[in-house]
Amino acid sequence: MNVPQKGGEELFDHYHTAEGLDALHQVIMDAKARQAEGEAAGPDAWTKILDPKEAIRSRVFPVLQDEKQRLESALAEVRANRLDGTQFDFV
């Protein structure tokens, strides 16, 4: 990954921080509007009986499983290439 090494402005541009903050602001404003209208929270809204760590785990676990599978496949490829004498270039 090519990450700028200079100033904060370049990092903001590289990671599209302004767009992310705008999206977050819009989500917050939409939620406040729904709350003001008395609309009930959606099915995956945090509640006092749900531990925040459990909520995060439920979202992250499938992503981590996919990443584990991808890494295992890459490792199997490296091992296969190493056994047949083929050079493997890491990027």
- Tell whether 20 and 34 lie within a shared domain: yes
Residue 40 DSSP symbol: P
Residue 3 near residue 11 (C-beta atoms within 8 A): yes
Q: What is the extent of the structural domain holding 72?
A: 43-91
- Both 76 and 56 in one domain: the answer is yes
47 and 33 in a single domain? The answer is: no
Tell whether 36 and 74 lie within a shared domain: no
Regarding whether 63 and 25 lie in a shared domain, the answer is no
* Span 16-67, pLDDT tens digits: 888 889 988 998 998 888 888 887 666 655 567 777 788 788 889 999 999 9
Model confidence, pTM = 0.39
Q: Which residue has the tokens 């091992």?
A: 79
Place of tokens 């496949």: 73
Mean per-residue pLDDT over the chain, rounded: 80
